[in-house]
Amino acid sequence: MSNLNAGDAHNKDNEVRYETRNSLIDGSRVRDPGLNLTPSGERVHIGFFGIRNSGKSSLVNKITGQDLSVVSAVKGTTTDPVKKAMELLPLGPVLIIDTPGFDDDDKILGELRVKKTREILAQCDIAVLVVNSINPENDFNLNFNAELIKLFNEHSIPYVIAHNKADLLLDQPEFSDQPVWREDLKAEEIYVSALTGFNIEKLKNKIASLAKSKGVNNKHLIADLLNINDLVVLVIPIDESAPKGRLILPQQQVIRDILDAHCAAVTCQPEELKDILKLVKPKMVVTDSQAFKRVAQDTPSYIYLTSFSILFARYKGDLKILVQGAAKLASLNNSSKVLISEGCTHHRQCGDIGTVKIPALIKKFANCEPKFDFTSGGEFPDLQALKAYDLIIHCGGCMLNEREMANRINKAREANVNIVNYGVAIACMNGILRRSLELFPDVLKILDNNI
């Protein structure tokens, strides 16, 4: 059972978008909107795993500085993953995830909880394996913990082993701050106590060091394509599907990355682009995918052109694989099944891009009536279910972290199903894919070999 307030209940469905205006940093309440507005997809995801009663929830509560999860002596108290966006010094914005016990033996619910724990692995950048330091070599514990370690390695997730309840060992002469649980693990290990706070700061530092050493979240959306003082024109349609009074997340993040590169951004709507280009000489134009065709017509060939979605395909996914996937669009037929998947949930407008505009484009481009299925948020079919599809078209993944997006792409490849993202698919169906990829010469080679 998880102790969720209204905000946390929203977070539970993989939609932790922004932290509350008052954030907790190391137990102290501060006000800093810059930290609080970091979207979940840009936060380092840290998952806490282990068997029941190892003290996972207690440790999460100690690290976050609040009673995020219900704690009791009853096995299986945490039944669903609990998520908390926070600032973890010295690492920065993170998403802490408390998972159910991996050894849950309930015949029905236990299997579902273990399945959910496995799904969380697809999102984690760093894992913390919490073991009971009182008896860490108990065979029952080791079987489940060894399976978790195997899963960490399979997913290439760096991990820390936290020997919890160390307060019960402190008076014993054999206690050491440098444990050797399994010499072959070659993992960071540390004794901690969620009760007394022993070594909690050291654990935070170990997590931060591990994340930095593995280069977690060390990529750029657009900054690495720019030189200082470059100008970029961003084309942002304001239509019935645009949110009232704000820009959508991909647009915000591209603007921020341009500013971080010490460059300038000019924004306009599609119908204004021609006049804007008479006034300024940008290095590139970045457009919303929905306006791709018109923007391509209005942008001179000597100016680079791409889309927000293609930038995110490179940033969150694997642009080469997604470009390869575009080849399948032309061979769709009336018996084909297409999955259109979005990484977030939102109120769909009458002209929604995923459920309305892309299906209409596909029908016109491939001259057929394929069957469409739709998923959103944390929902994504398992490997067996994916095999029923001929093509997966995925959004840019701005609300997913890089690891989860990579996991979805890898699942598609395992199922032998082509996968493409919105921007690549729309550019392909408008006959401007090559033009939109001129910024990426290595990807153009893939395009020439596949389409």
For residue range 276-294, list pLDDT tens digits in order.
999 999 999 999 998 999 9
pLDDT band at 80 (very low <50, low <70, confident <90, very high): low
> Could you identify the residue written with the tokens 């693990």?
185
pLDDT band at 137 (very low <50, low <70, confident <90, very high): low
What was the pLDDT predicted at 8? 35
pLDDT band at 146 (very low <50, low <70, confident <90, very high): confident
Report whether pLDDT(69) > 60: no
Strands 188-191 and 231-235, bridge-based pairing: unpaired
Q: Nearest-5° angle of CA 77, CA 81, CA 87? A: 115
Which CATH class name applies to 225-311?
alpha beta
What was the pLDDT predicted at 171? 58
Report whether pLDDT(15) > 60: no
What was the pLDDT predicted at 308? 95
Per-range mean pLDDT, top range of 12-26, 234-248, 362-376: 362-376
For residue range 211-234, list pLDDT tens digits in order.
888 776 678 999 999 999 999 999
> Could you identify the residue written with the tokens 């995020």?
68
For residue range 310-328, list pLDDT tens digits in order.
999 999 889 999 999 999 9
To the nearest 10 degrees (0 to 180), the angle between helices 308-316 and 422-429 is 130
What single letter denotes the amino acid at residue 194? A
For residue range 409-448, list pLDDT tens digits in order.
999 999 999 999 999 999 999 999 999 999 999 998 888 7
Averaged over 46-72, what is the pLDDT?
A: 80
What was the pLDDT predicted at 437? 95
Averaged over 156-166, what is the pLDDT?
A: 90
What was the pLDDT predicted at 173? 43
For residue range 252-276, list pLDDT tens digits in order.
999 999 999 999 999 999 999 999 9
Averaged over 182-203, what is the pLDDT?
A: 81
Report whether pLDDT(16) > 90: no
Output 138 or 93, whichever has higher pLDDT.
93
What was the pLDDT predicted at 9? 33
Report whether pLDDT(117) > 50: yes
What was the pLDDT predicted at 40? 81
Report whether pLDDT(34) > 60: no
Q: How far apart are CA 141 and CA 163, in angstroms?
A: 12
Q: Classify domain 6-213 by CATH number.
A: 3.40.50.300
Domain chopping of the chain, boundaries: 6-213, 225-311, 317-450
Residue of 381, 205, 384, 237 whose CA lies nearest to 308: 237
Report whether pLDDT(127) > 80: yes
Strands 82-88 and 92-98, bridge-based pairing: antiparallel
Report whether pLDDT(186) > 80: no
Mean pLDDT score across all residues of the chain: 81
Same fold, 225-311 and 317-450: yes
What was the pLDDT predicted at 399? 85
Output 175 or 351, whichever has higher pLDDT.
351
Averaged over 381-391, what is the pLDDT?
A: 95
Of 115-119, 215-219, 330-334, least confident by mean pLDDT is: 215-219
pLDDT band at 451 (very low <50, low <70, confident <90, very high): low
HEC string for the chain: CCCCCHHHHHHCCCCCCCCCCEEEECCEEEECHHHHCCCHHHCEEEEEECCCCCCHHHHHHHHHCCCCCCCCCCCCCCCCCEEEEEEECCCEEEEEEECCCCCCCCCCHHHHHHHHHHHHHCCCCEEEEEEECCCCCCHHHHHHHHHHHHHHHHCCCCEEEEEECHHHCCCCCCCCCCCCCCHHHCCEEEECCCCCCCCHHHHHHHHHHHHHHCCCCCCCCCHHHCCCCCEEEEECCCCCCCCCCCCCHHHHHHHHHHHHCCCEEEEECHHHHHHHHHHCCCCEEEECHHHHHHHHHHCCCCCEEEEHHHHHHHHHCCHHHHHHHHHHHHHCCCCCEEEEECCCCCCCCCCCHHHHHHHHHHHHHHCCCCEEEEECCCCCCCHHHHCCCCEEEECCCCCCCHHHHHHHHHHHHHCCCEEEEHHHHHHHHCCCHHHHCCCCHHHHHHHHHHC
Q: How far apart are CA 216 and CA 211, in angstroms?
A: 5
What was the pLDDT predicted at 178? 52
Residue of 285, 282, 300, 297 whose CA lies nearest to 236: 285
Report whether pLDDT(114) > 50: yes
Which CATH class name applies to 317-450?
alpha beta
